Structure 1
Amino acid sequence: MRILGYLVVGLVGLVIYMVANTMAMLPAGEAKSLKPAEYDAADARRMAENLAGAVRFETVSYSLDRAPDDAAFKGFHDYLVTTYPNAHAVLEREIVSDYSLMYRWPAASSTAKKPIALAAHMDVVPVPERGLADWPQPPFAGVIDDNGILWGRGTLDDKGMLISIMEAVEKLARAGFAPDRDIYFLFGHDEELGGDNGAAVMAGILKDRGVQLSWLMDEGSAIPDGIIPGVKSPVALISLGEKGSVTLRFSATDDGGHSSAPKDFTAASLAAKAGVAVTENQYPLVLDEHLEAFLKAVAPEQPFLNRFMIANLWATNGVMAGELAKSPTVAAFMHTTTAFTMMQSGTKTNILPQYGEAVVNYRIHPRDTVQGVIDRARDVVADDRIKIENLGGGREATSLSDPSGEGYQAIARAVKAEFGDIPIAPTLTVQGTDARHYDGVADGVYRFMPLVVGKDTLKQIHGTAEHISIEALARQVSFFETLIKGTVG
């Protein structure tokens, strides 16, 4: 009985400690609101008209087998020169791979400060014919409606960001601003196809010239509002890295024959079994330090039980990871994902197939590698009858940049200045961006779009009815002005 009493006292003491830890580490807080936008209406309208003009250049990336539209891309180059004369008076411009643009704003004087870079891309995805009816305005007409909404492909991904950068540089140059370090502006032309002829080449040029950036910022995450369960505040998510990817084909062959005399397997069943095996043996879910930082950033608005769990992850990590994984979106941040996406086999219902294949797509967490995925798949399948092929070589995940680094802190300060005292948290980008090509030429690579997004916004990217409000565009421009000025001193 005495031992039981000790256990009860110890358990009560532990609970008291964990509650006290919660109240000290993560006290309840109120939802934070966005700072009201401050902009001149006429100036904002002018900037929107400039973005509308950019949208009208159909700089579409169709496929690796189809060359870029020379007139569209070069027309867009000329448009930037004529639209932003003050910027082009201070910037050094270099055309890379015929269509990408690499700008350098040289420091006003000799400096030991490392340069920084802002990246964006000028190409856009195609608009499917079947989706045209769902566009309130033609996707390349650049129409601004009576509600102050600019409709068009690229307004979000990613001409809106590119034009916002150029608007900020134009304003700063006109005002006589002079940076005390080199600033690069890197605008790729083939991001939607992987960036191998644009960003990758520009990164190679920087490396060959011995340029090591302190940090670079590209598109990626944004400011979700009303998307994160239980969080009423908008949250600025700054991505520290991005996932890689690889697609594997699991195939099997057999003699075939008539279906009236089958063996206990077919080429189809062998391939399907392999696909199912890797799908049912998913990578472990890991609640790492970056996801922990995200949870702590949004915890103050959570109910007490959630705050209790987050504040005491040393004891609740496993349970918390399981709860988070109930959302496929959140689970994707926690591990390398495995998706059985395609299956092919057979020619007729009464013929045993001589060939079968299953195709599985992996999105690789920075903890893992392409070769590691292949080796693990081979171990899981454990069947010599299955041939495993890497389709397309794959892409490694990037490294994860430091959330205490200069770039992250500069972005965070600009967020606070433009959007107010909202939570800011590190995250991981699960899609591919041009940023990954600069991993080796920058001390830190961050992915962030200064844009408040809701559930409907996310559907527009690569979807239908893509648009941006005049106010949102004005806030982007103001953010970049603040960010660039904040790099001085």
Structure 2
Amino acid sequence: MDFLTDYVKKAVSKTNEKKRKRQIIISCIVGIILVGLISINLFNPKDKFPDYTSDCSSYHKMPLLFNKSYDKILHDIDYKLEVVNKLSGAIKIPTVVYDSYGQPDLNTSLADDKEYSEFQKFHDYLETEFPLVHKHLKREIVNKVGLVYTWTPEVETDAKPLLLMAHQDVVPVEPSTLDKWSYPPFEGHYDDLTGKIYGRGALDTKLFLIAQFSTVELLLKEKYELKKPLILAYGFDEEKGGDFGAKFIADFLLDRYGKDGIEALFDEGEGIVQLDESTFIASPGVAEMGYCDVYIELDTPGGHSSAPNHWDIETTGIGIISEINHFITLDQFETSVSSNNPVLSFLQCNAKFNPESLDPLVLRAIRKNSLSKFERAIQKNDLRFTFKTTQSMDVIKGGIKSNAMPENVVDVINHRIDIQSSVNETVLHDLKHVIDAAEKYNLGVTVDWRNTGEMEVLKNSTELGTFNIRVVGALEPVSTIPYDDFYELVASTVVSVYNDPLFAGDSGKDVEVLFEGTMSPGNTDSVYYALNKLVNGRVYRFSGNLVEAANAHTVDEWCTDKSLLTSHAFIYSMIVNFNEAY
């Protein structure tokens, strides 16, 4: 029995020893895996946020070296009413453009143009309200409706000009919504109690245009001696893509100044948001997503609906287009976070100074310095739309009678294109599903890659019909601006404007102004200047105004007098600082 007991003890001992060895081996393997995972997380540079070296609170105010009448912009009540009335008057002129508007008729006067006649009234209004601008600046008309003004210094210089932009046109007002407006959309009503100016274009973007004209008019009145050229440029069809306005003006200025011939430009864009009583954040658009509309048009035989017999299954052109839309919907573009996307820096600024504005998962990923965690955090957050190409099926037309099969169906898919992608990559994504349907239903395919009228045949037409694809309004993404001395000049100018006593509040605290670029998901006229490489990347979609405005493109569009005048003050300071300190 003792022998058996000793044997059992030895056996148990050996078993325990094996268990210990096995546990040690497993622990070592787990440890190696954990170390590996930690190493990947710590030392994988691709998973880290970009170094946030240019802290958004690091900019300081600078002295305004010419400020003869600057103070009255923000503090003179009579002057405020004068500028407000100019904007109100501009709103009264309905410079509306519809998507159907095309090339202006060069064989008639602007006043007699069937589509653009209101713009003649607007030109006349500007000439009446800003006489010094029209006396001292050279005005040139581009493509009949576009406006270019040039202020040339009296002393000859080789310095590159500064370009200020806006657009003259506004979107239409939906007639069925007229009774929902607090005031008629083209009345330009000013409520002096709230400071609100109502009307179509109050925000988008006659505010910026009037602020620019008011600034130049004031500087001319003060006899300011300009040292570097200044250009004002105003397209007339930005709301439908800028094909006949900004595109023509950009080509016009490219012929005159050449590539990199303009120092920088400012166009409509984001402004300054007040976070609390003494903190403001400016967020200029410093990059821009691309754009295209993909028109998928399908021509098929018609016939009586009682016998939908063109294919083996009962369907029509509408059914085929619907099937394509279904598969494109399932084939979403992936969210892809790249370190050169300026939205990351903007979010890092907010994580540091305005953390409550961020989704908790997004904030945690930023604080963990992990792009992979951030990418996961934004999958169900609207932030994802600035890190991917989007798709939105916005228009579908087809059929004229409930008992007649449609012979023509049109489908329009709108895309905003990620800065890592391209127009062609986006179009090929849609085209893949069109070709699949063409193979399935024995249909032809042609493509007009840039809406020029030149069709490329990808698959010959058949007796059952053909797809005709058009790519309309194609604009490539615009990468971020250089973070250079000019960027610091803009930041310091903003800090200076918003350190005015007007913004100090009742607490008497020092004002803190944060400045960090972000990306514009929408497109502006500036894209044509960027793609022409007129400005070496310095494209600022930024109007410098305090964001007290709302309802662009919808009922009760409005801005405040303070928003208008802060834009005016920023432009004044920017022109002076560009001339005196850059």
The normalised TM-score by structure 1 is 0.83
CA distance in 2 between partners of 1:42 and 1:347 (Å): 59
CA contact (8 A) 1:121 1:158 kept: yes
CA contact (8 A) 2:285 2:542 kept: yes
Superposed, which structure 2 residues align to 1:140-219 within 5 Å? 140-147=186-193, 148-211=195-258, 212-219=261-268
| Deviating more after overlay: 58-67 vs 317-326 | 58-67
CA contact (8 A) 1:106 1:179 kept: yes
Q: Secondary structure at the match of 1:487?
A: helix
Asked if residue 91 in structure 1 is aligned to residue 137 in structure 2, the reply is: yes
Superposed, which structure 2 residues align to 1:390-429 within 5 Å? 390-391=469-470, 393-405=472-484, 408-419=487-498, 421-429=512-520
- The corresponding residue for 2:425 is 372
Q: CA deviation at 1:170?
A: 1.5
Alpha-carbon deviations, 1:279-331, whole Å to 9, x = none?
A: 21111212222222222121113268644411444xx3233123223234x22
- The corresponding residue for 1:229 is none
Alpha-carbon deviations, 1:170-212, whole Å to 9, x = none?
A: 2222222222211100012222233233222221211222342
CA contact (8 A) 2:162 2:264 kept: yes
Q: CA deviation at 1:480?
A: 0.6
Asked if residue 278 in structure 1 is aligned to residue 328 in structure 2, the reply is: yes
Structure 1 unpaired stretches of 5+: 31-36, 227-231
CA 1:124 to 1:194, structure 2 compared with 1: closer, same or farther past 3 Å?
same
* Among 321, 327, 331, the residue aligned to 2:381: 327
CA 1:238 to 1:263, structure 2 compared with 1: closer, same or farther past 3 Å?
same
CA contact (8 A) 1:403 1:426 kept: no
* Among 448, 451, 456, the residue aligned to 2:545: 451
CA contact (8 A) 1:342 1:358 kept: yes
Q: CA deviation at 1:358?
A: 4.5
CA contact (8 A) 1:61 1:126 kept: yes
CA distance in 2 between partners of 1:163 and 1:29 (Å): 29
CA distance in 2 between partners of 1:353 and 1:204 (Å): 42
Q: CA deviation at 1:472?
A: 1.6
Q: CA deviation at 1:130?
A: 1.6
- The corresponding residue for 1:299 is 351
Q: Secondary structure at the match of 2:97?
A: coil
CA contact (8 A) 2:171 2:553 kept: yes
Asked if residue 39 in structure 1 is aligned to residue 71 in structure 2, the reply is: no
CA contact (8 A) 1:403 1:409 kept: no
Q: CA deviation at 1:481?
A: 0.5
CA distance in 1 between partners of 2:135 and 2:270 (Å): 32
CA 1:126 to 1:6, structure 2 compared with 1: closer, same or farther past 3 Å?
closer
| Deviating more after overlay: 177-186 vs 288-297 | 288-297
Alpha-carbon deviations, 1:71-130, whole Å to 9, x = none?
A: 632332233233223333432211222322111111342333221200011222222222
Q: CA deviation at 1:404?
A: 0.8
Letter in 2 for 1:373: T
| Deviating more after overlay: 418-427 vs 53-62 | 418-427
Q: CA deviation at 1:152?
A: 1.9
| Deviating more after overlay: 242-251 vs 132-141 | 242-251
CA 1:69 to 1:341, structure 2 compared with 1: closer, same or farther past 3 Å?
closer
Superposed, which structure 2 residues align to 1:183-262 within 5 Å? 183-211=230-258, 212-224=261-273, 234-249=281-296, 251=298, 253=300, 258=306
CA distance in 1 between partners of 2:361 and 2:133 (Å): 52
Letter in 2 for 1:56: K
Asked if residue 479 in structure 1 is aligned to residue 570 in structure 2, the reply is: yes
Q: Secondary structure at the match of 1:209?
A: helix
Superposed, which structure 2 residues align to 1:313-352 within 5 Å? 313=369, 316-328=370-382, 330-343=383-396
Q: Secondary structure at the match of 2:415?
A: strand
- The corresponding residue for 1:363 is 416
- The corresponding residue for 1:34 is none
Asked if residue 109 in structure 1 is aligned to residue 155 in structure 2, the reply is: yes
CA contact (8 A) 1:260 1:350 kept: no
- The corresponding residue for 1:309 is 365
CA 1:53 to 1:252, structure 2 compared with 1: closer, same or farther past 3 Å?
closer
- The corresponding residue for 2:453 is none
The two structures, once aligned, show a CA RMSD in angstroms of 3.6
Give % identity.
26
Asked if residue 134 in structure 1 is aligned to residue 180 in structure 2, the reply is: yes
The normalised TM-score by structure 2 is 0.71
Asked if residue 49 in structure 1 is aligned to residue 101 in structure 2, the reply is: no
CA contact (8 A) 1:335 1:364 kept: yes
Q: In terms of Rg, which structure is larger?
A: 2
Asked if residue 266 in structure 1 is aligned to residue 322 in structure 2, the reply is: no
| Deviating more after overlay: 46-55 vs 107-116 | 107-116
CA distance in 2 between partners of 1:68 and 1:473 (Å): 32
Letter in 2 for 1:133: D
CA contact (8 A) 1:214 1:406 kept: no
CA distance in 2 between partners of 1:407 and 1:119 (Å): 18
Q: CA deviation at 1:135?
A: 2.0
Letter in 1 for 2:390: T
CA distance in 2 between partners of 1:222 and 1:321 (Å): 27
CA distance in 1 between partners of 2:372 and 2:559 (Å): 41
CA distance in 1 between partners of 2:301 and 2:163 (Å): 55
CA distance in 2 between partners of 1:272 and 1:409 (Å): 51
CA contact (8 A) 1:140 1:153 kept: yes
- The corresponding residue for 1:442 is 535
CA 1:250 to 1:425, structure 2 compared with 1: closer, same or farther past 3 Å?
farther
Q: CA deviation at 1:366?
A: 3.5
Q: CA deviation at 1:449?
A: 2.5
Q: CA deviation at 1:424?
A: 2.8
| Deviating more after overlay: 83-92 vs 7-16 | 7-16
Structure 2 unpaired stretches of 5+: 1-23, 58-72, 105-112, 446-466, 500-511
